[in-house]
Chain A
């Protein structure tokens, strides 16, 4: 079975632009979570969606938004990009709704903001 997939792999944007990152969960997984990992740090929780509903939100500004589609894939949108948004964005899926259960991570999207 395929694991969690993310696209694109790398992305370069300039300040003020908007970006959309995509994630496809493992087949049968209905929960998708997004994390931001700045270089040298651990991942920080941004959002969790389960059955197309937002179940959790981390301490991120409203410039960050996400949604989940009927096929359980998900998009993370970031508006008005700042230099500090440069990071590895990780998507994780889980078969359960519990955000504290085992998460299965994708390879990530490396976003660079110039």
Chain B
């Protein structure tokens, strides 16, 4: 089973609307990261939120973290066509073999 899982798997909205993606994870974490990937290219780091933070902003991005529910959300406000991409949450496995575990991603399509 996945350490991190995004929901929904796909999301299609109109330009200017807000997009919300969710991520759930299973084990304790020290941080949670969100990445964007455009059409099969490399991933771009968007934001890192630490386990003692509840909310973080970066431009039009807002990330929340609820460690009691083991979940996070990424909100993109006033979406643009250029936001069309896949979005992944990444959670660290810090027990045993340490590694960064990615979910399957949310494929976001912004329609003009």
Residues of chain A whose beta carbon lies under 8 Å from any beta carbon of chain B: 4, 33, 35, 40-45, 48, 56-58, 88, 90, 92, 99-108, 110
Contact = CB atoms under 8 A, between A and B. Distances in A.
Contacts of A40: 104
Q: Which 9 A-B pairs have the closest CB atoms?
A: A100-B92, A42-B102, A105-B42, A45-B99, A105-B43, A107-B42, A43-B102, A99-B98, A42-B104
A59 B98 CA distance: 12
Interface of B: 30-31, 33, 35, 40-45, 48, 88, 90, 92-94, 97-105
A38 B96 CA distance: 25
Chain B contact surface mostly: strand
B43 A100 contact: no
Interface centre among A41, A92, A100, A105 (most CB of B within 10 A): A100
